[in-house]
Structure 1
Amino acid sequence: MAHQSDIDFVSLGTVDIDEIRVPGCQPMLDVLGGSGAFSTLGFRIFNGGAQAQTTGCLVLAGNDFPDAARRELEQWGATLVVKEDAQNASTRGLVKYAESMCGPKSYTHTHTTTPLTPVSMDLPILLLSSNTFHFLATPKELLDQVPFLTALRKAHGIKAPALIIWEPTPSSCVPANRPSFLTACKIVDVFSPNHVDLCALFSDIPEKNFDRKNIVARAYHFVGAKSWDKAPAMVLVHCGEHGSLLLPRDPKPKWLPAYYGQDAEGVVDATGAGSAFLGGFAAGWIESGGNVKEASVYGAVSASFAVEQVGLPVLTGGGKGERWNGVAVGERMKVFRKKLEDMEMAEMMEAMRLASLKPIKAMNGPDWISRRH
């Protein structure tokens, strides 16, 4: 077990057991998922070997939690805390695709009891000291949990501030909740909806026409809600195959590409990619000392591993030989950095081209004379 000060990431999202249904295929049963599992994966991908224990993993397991799911999580070597509830079933969901895994889908909870959702009180002291916390929550849940988490840490002598990343619950993203979203943003450090949920807060339908300008305008509504001590509050919008929008309070918006663009052959199932992005973002934030762009590069790479299969990617090897889906994380980072470099070069060349098309003032008259003398 890691020491208290060694934990860098904990998610308070759920770890679900899902059933996946695709027309014409046999149902896939007991698939490990949930925002807690995917965000933890995103962080763990960048922390292998001895660093694996810096990844905290909290699981609220029901009396039917599959042994295979437990073994899959144990293989990561993270600081795993499983709290068993003998009186209730595990959190389960049904994912139904309308046509194929590339098309629309629906998600419904199928358990008969209340979902086993972690709250701050469930954290043992070992995980309570984490440097970063990820929440999947409604505004009301967040407004209850973050102050309680802060007070609980203070009561245990944990004085260092933790980075709070908020991924909103999709069902709460409706226009009537916008005021409560603004209030909740004041107590978090990173507000990170996906583009669909962000637009749902304004009754937009982004699937019909992805509009970057509209996404930026909607995101600006939430920027700077929190007054930071050491860094500006920010909005981070993960937009699937369209990439991600970075929107700190002061600088101009920055778009980064996704590792897999539209219609990429490597994409099997995008479920959990947003949560994996945020786990990777947390890893990059810590590694880079708070560089937003670098953290988002890590997030994009984590998300790429999440979409290549149904459920979680397969871990093989160990130490420097560790691979996810047969690929070393360092190799994928190199590929993505090259993609990003090429994109930024193309943007610069286009900016230079547009600048060259601007009319040039004639060098005569009083203005020209004043510049000469």
Structure 2
Amino acid sequence: MSQALAWPLHIGNDFPTSIKDGLQSWETTLLIKESSGDLSTRGLLEYKDTTFGPKDFKYTTPVLNIDENSIAETHILASKAFHYLATPQDIQTRVSNLLSLRQKAGILSRPLIIWEPAPLSCNPENLQVFLEAAHHVDILSPNHLELGRFFSRTCKDTSTKTDIEDLASTIMGNGVGPDKKGIILIRAGEQGCLIQSWDLPSTWLPPFYDSESSSGQQAVGVVDPTGAGNAFLGGFGIGYIKTMDAVTAACFGTVSASMALEQIGMPTKTHSGDMELWNGTSVQERLRDYMSKNAVERSLGRDQIPQS
């Protein structure tokens, strides 16, 4: 499955060789641009409690950006799905540039556009441009705290599933996607994830790891949630391309995120024969077990779950 992934990476002169080697060992399509005169993008992320929910983040070095022109002459331009972490102000321009480059290259199909709003841009001052930007993407996915901040809500105001559903419904009422047939995914930590679309009522899936207790302690198996949101959306994108079913794709995303939660830093990829193992576990087996445990059968059948 890793061969299905492609990503550009802009690094500075201090990028750790061990991490670079680790990424290359994953056998993805990795397009690396190195700026010898710059430091790599770094940030400070501080979690405020043991639930890994509320957090503060700031960049500690200038951001080394990636834009669509960096993939213009590569086969990455023809990818079926693109995941963006961008501000509401930037996402419209970036999607427009991407579609323009694809058209010039003779790629006429529209890819799946997945948008994760940049956390620092999630504030009430950006609400209107956020709602407008939602029309330009196919999948919209803030987490529940970021969603609340757009509407001036506090952590307490997004503490229940009903609170989260109400805010998601407000966005769906405004429209997601060019034809208003897009999907909103709210990643809600220990509550799991919410899926809504124009033809799907509010649907919740639990997290892969159950909570240790009802006392607000972190879930068993969760070491560090940093990067789990990105992993979730990457898994969702692959699942949706394969099945065209949002709930099944969210199962892919949940299992993908579980691999990012289990350690500080990156998961480890190995092989058992022709099978990929992540952290020593078969993704396919974990996906089948998760879907079975949560009775996520849908109408697709198990033949839609990738076997290699």
Instruction: Decide: shared fold, TM above 0.5.
Output: yes
* Separation of aligned partners in 2, 1:166 and 1:99: 27
Matching of residues 249-328 of structure 1 within 5 Å: 249-263=198-212, 264-288=219-243, 290-317=244-271, 320-328=274-282
Aligned to 1:121: 69
* Separation of aligned partners in 1, 2:297 and 2:291: 10
Partner amino acid, structure 2, of 1:65: F
User: Any idea what SS the aligned residue of 1:252 has?
Assistant: strand
Cα offset, 1:133, TM superposition: 0.4
Conserved? CA contact 1:241–1:262, under 8 Å: yes
* Partner deviation per Cα, 1:253-311 (whole Å, 9 max, x = no partner): 111111113232200111111111100001101111x1111100100100111111111
* Separation of aligned partners in 1, 2:8 and 2:272: 22
Cα offset, 1:322, TM superposition: 2.1
Cα offset, 1:209, TM superposition: 6.3
* Separation of aligned partners in 2, 1:163 and 1:284: 12
Matching of residues 153-302 of structure 1 within 5 Å: 153-207=102-156, 210-223=159-172, 224-228=175-179, 232-263=181-212, 264-288=219-243, 290-302=244-256
Gaps of 5+ in 2: 213-218, 299-308
* Separation of aligned partners in 2, 1:115 and 1:269: 23
Conserved? CA contact 2:88–2:130, under 8 Å: yes
Aligned to 1:362: none
* Separation of aligned partners in 1, 2:181 and 2:199: 8
User: Any idea what SS the aligned residue of 1:222 has?
Assistant: helix
Gaps of 5+ in 1: 1-46, 345-373
Equivalent pairs, count: 289
Check if 1:80 corresponds to 2:34.
Answer: no
Partner amino acid, structure 2, of 1:90: S
Cα offset, 1:86, TM superposition: 1.4
Cα offset, 1:207, TM superposition: 4.8
* Separation of aligned partners in 2, 1:342 and 1:164: 25
Partner amino acid, structure 2, of 1:86: S
**Higher relative contact order, chain-length normalized (CA < 8 Å, sep 6+):** 1
Cα offset, 1:180, TM superposition: 0.2
User: Any idea what SS the aligned residue of 1:200 has?
Assistant: helix
User: Any idea what SS the aligned residue of 2:207 has?
Assistant: coil
Give the TM-score, by structure 1 length.
0.73
Q: Which runs of 4+ in 1 moved over 6 A?
A: none
Aligned residues: CA RMSD: 2.2
Aligned to 1:348: none
Conserved? CA contact 1:190–1:234, under 8 Å: yes
User: Any idea what SS the aligned residue of 2:186 has?
Assistant: strand
Partner amino acid, structure 1, of 2:280: G
Partner amino acid, structure 2, of 1:305: M
Percent of paired sites with the same residue: 38
Partner amino acid, structure 1, of 2:236: F
User: Any idea what SS the aligned residue of 2:163 has?
Assistant: helix
* Partner deviation per Cα, 1:4-29 (whole Å, 9 max, x = no partner): xxxxxxxxxxxxxxxxxxxxxxxxxx
CA gap of 1:127–1:98, structure 2 versus 1, over 3 A, is same
Check if 1:331 corresponds to 2:280.
Answer: no
CA gap of 1:194–1:96, structure 2 versus 1, over 3 A, is closer
* Separation of aligned partners in 2, 1:343 and 1:131: 25
* Separation of aligned partners in 1, 2:23 and 2:203: 35
Out of 52, 63, 66, the residue aligned to residue 13 of structure 2 is 63
* Separation of aligned partners in 2, 1:90 and 1:260: 33
CA gap of 1:338–1:179, structure 2 versus 1, over 3 A, is same
Bigger Rg, which one: 1
